[in-house]
Each structure stands twice: as C-alpha cells, then as structure tokens.
Amino acid sequence: MSAVAVHQFAQCITCHAWSPDHSMIALCPNNSEVHIYRMSEDKWERVHVLQKHDQIVSGIDWSSTSNKIVTVSHDRNSYVWNLEGSDWVPTLVILRLNRAALCAQWSPQENKFAVGSGAKTVCICYYEQENNWWVSKLVRKRHNSSVTSVAWHPNNILLATTSTDGKCRVFSTFIKGVDTRDSKTSSSSDTKFGEQILQLDLSYSWAFGVKWSPSGNTLAYVGHNSMIYFVDDVGPSPLAQNVAFRDLPLRDVLFVSEKVVIGVGFDCIPMVFAADESGIWSFVRFIGETKTPSSAPKYGSQFSEAFGKFYSQSKYGVNNDGTENSRQRGGIHQNCINCILPLKEPGVSMVRRFSTSGLDGKVVIWDLENQDDLFQ
C-alpha cells in the first residue's frame, strides 16, 4: 500500500473528480474555477478552465458513462457541463437554494444528482426532456443544520446524507418519470419522494463523509469526535457499530470492498478499517505502516505521553510536537486530506487504487498492491 504518484496542482485543492478513463482530472484550486488537467507523456497539462461560478466550487462529480461534470458552489448555483467538441458547455441548474451548496454526487445510473446545501436541504436534480433543462426537487423539513455530504445507494433510489447536526439520514428519492418502480426496491414500501427511511443519531458531533458499501448493505460515515460509524442492514432494524480512534477526525471515507474502508482526514495519512468474519469493524493501520498498532493499551500511555509533551513544551518552548507530527504528517500530504475517490478499473469489482486530494494542493494516487491480507 503505497503512494504511486504525487502531483502538486495548486496551493490548495477543495475537491477533485476523475474522467471515466482516468486520463483527465477536474479539480478546484480553492477558488471559483474548475481546472481540468490531462496526463500527456507523464506530465499534467491544463486543458480547460471552467469559469462560471462566483464563489468557491465546493463539489465536483464526473459521471462515468455520460461524461458530464456537475459542479456546485458556495454561490448557490450548480452547472452541468457537457463536452461539445473540445469545449465544455455549461447548463445552469435551477437549484432553488438560498444558501451555499456543499456537495454533489451523480446517482449510479446518472440520471439524477444530489446536492447537499447550507440551507439545511438536499436537492435532487433530474433532466426534463421536454424543456431540455435540469429541474430540482428539494427535500425539506428534515435536517436541522447544513448537509455536508450525500451518497447514493446502488439502487439509485436511496440517498444517505450527513449533516452538521450529527445525524445521518437515509431518504427515498423516487421520482415518477425518471425512476422505474422495481419489484426489488419496493421492499421499502414508502417510495414517496423525500420520505425519510432512517435517521441515525449516533454522533454527538458533526458528521461528514457518508458512503455506501458496493452492495448497498452497509453504510459508513465519520463524526468529528474521531469516530467512524458503520451501519449494517440499513432498514427497519439497523445494526450500528462505532469505532473510536485516537487520532484527529476524518473527513471522508471510501469502501474499497465490502469489508475494507479507507478513511482520510486531518491526519494527512489514509487510515484502513476492516471488518473481520463476524462483521466487527476495527481500525487496522495507517497506510504505509508495517506493524499494526494495538489500540487499547495505548490509551494509558497516550495520557502520560500528552502530559509529558505539555510539560516539556512549557519548559523548553519549541517543537516537541515536531516529533509527534513527523509520524502523522508522514511525508506525503502536508495538510488535511479532503477528498478520496476510487480509481476503478472496468470489470474489476474491488478497488485497488484510489486518489486523495487535500489542502496542501496535492493529488496522491495510492495502490493497495501488497495488502491482500485485508481482502480475505
């Protein structure tokens, strides 16, 4: 498990997205533009700059089959970009939001996309063929605070959202005319649009980074209290597990397979969580570490370690946290990692490579070559 490639694109990257063949990357360098880079002969060159937003672009998603890019920004607007010839042409999406948009994701079938916003609502947008534009439907009255992250279930109907009120909610987003009523999905009989299927109140701090497992059976999201929550059998009687870890909180997670999750956040190194045969999730290790740290006995020494640092700092002044930080700022990312995306090879169900981008302006591609012990 190592970093295969490190690319420095800007001083700070808010979010990124890959083209379907992974040859181009779209990213936001912490301003109102989206830059698209293409890899040519081992070098990245900037091929397009999409300039339509007035404020920072907070979410980018690139659909893999229809090759469309959706961008959402803090200026309450969203554009769907289509490649026509060699230019990207924007189409405004009327989101009807009155606050900033925070995140966006295409649905698995790419006929809809979801936008989470600071207006405490989630927008589901779909394409109306008659009028030739994107229409939005809002899910109101459910969230108590900003919606930080959205994730689609593989069945294209269920949507999970996390919010700064600490709760994770699952909604049905069935839209007549866009979705087909399937016998499989009618197990959740309340297929009305905006119906809340489930509300998880596991975290007492802000929740971020929700993702479904590839089969849609498990949900994972992180809380700002340095905990990651796994929910199995999402439905009327979910089974929830909390995993607490001793380091800084995470910002985003990724399901590499049904049983392995990678989390990224303020620690600047991806963390691996895995479920064993009985389904119990636990923290395995940081990427790149050779031995697995045992979490329980360290709590005692962590306290005395913290005390030691506190005292020595006050006596000698500077930089004993230089040594502590050199473990966490392991070399590759220098600042918080914001975004983790899979680099899926077509035909392979397990994700072997993924990319992370962070506030240090780097995009790092990781490969899980030697970690077959995680995939049993």
Partner 1 sequence: MCLQNFPCQEVERHNKPEVELKTSSELILNPILICRNEAEKCLIETSINSLRISLKVRQADELENILTKKFLRFLSMRAEAFQVLRRKPVPGYDISFLITNYHCEDMQKSKLIDFIVQFMEDIDKEISELKMSVNTRGRLVAAEFLKQFI
Name the site residues for partner 1 (rule: CB under 8 A): 11-12, 14, 30, 54-56, 58, 74-76, 98-100, 102, 118-120, 144-146, 164-166, 205-206, 224, 248-249, 251, 265-266, 313, 317-319, 321-322, 325, 329, 334-336, 338, 359
**What is the closest distance, in whole angstroms, from the C-beta atom of residue 119 to partner 1 in the complex?**
8
Q: Give whichever of 144 and 215 is closer to partner 1, judged by the CB atom.
A: 144
SS3 161: strand
**What is the closest distance, in whole angstroms, from the C-beta atom of residue 94 to partner 1 in the complex?**
15
**What are the C-alpha distances in Å from 370 to residues 101, 348, 374?**
39, 17, 9
**What is the closest distance, in whole angstroms, from the C-beta atom of residue 309 to partner 1 in the complex?**
12
Q: Give whichever of 35 and 68 is closer to partner 1, judged by the CB atom.
A: 35
From the list 262, 222, 224, the residue with the least C-alpha distance to 354 is 262
Residue 319 exposure: Cα atoms within 13 Å on the Cβ side: 2
From the list 371, 375, 356, 373, the residue with the least C-alpha distance to 7 is 356
Q: Give whichever of 97 and 160 is closer to partner 1, judged by the CB atom.
A: 97
Q: Give whichever of 10 and 365 is closer to partner 1, judged by the CB atom.
A: 10
The two tokens of residue 234 are 């999402």
Q: Give whichever of 48 and 76 is closer to partner 1, judged by the CB atom.
A: 76
Q: Give whichever of 76 and 112 is closer to partner 1, judged by the CB atom.
A: 76
Strand partners, 355: 341, 365
Measure the N-to-C terminal CA separation of the chain; round to a whole number of Å.
Answer: 16
Q: Give whichever of 82 and 313 is closer to partner 1, judged by the CB atom.
A: 313
Q: What is the DSSP string of 262-277?
A: EEEETTSS-EEEEE-T
- The total number of residues shown for the chain amounts to 376
DSSP secondary structure letter of residue 143: -
- Alpha helices by DSSP H, listed for 224-320, are 298-316
Centre a 10 Å sphere on the Cβ of residue 192 and count the other Cβ atoms it contains.
9
Q: Give whichever of 318 and 348 is closer to partner 1, judged by the CB atom.
A: 318
**What is the closest distance, in whole angstroms, from the C-beta atom of residue 76 to partner 1 in the complex?**
6
| Rounded (5°) CA angle 257-262-263 | 145
Residues 6+ apart with CB under 8 A from 54: 32, 73, 75, 77
**What is the closest distance, in whole angstroms, from the C-beta atom of residue 328 to partner 1 in the complex?**
9
**What is the closest distance, in whole angstroms, from the C-beta atom of residue 12 to partner 1 in the complex?**
5
**What is the closest distance, in whole angstroms, from the C-beta atom of residue 157 to partner 1 in the complex?**
29
**What is the closest distance, in whole angstroms, from the C-beta atom of residue 313 to partner 1 in the complex?**
7
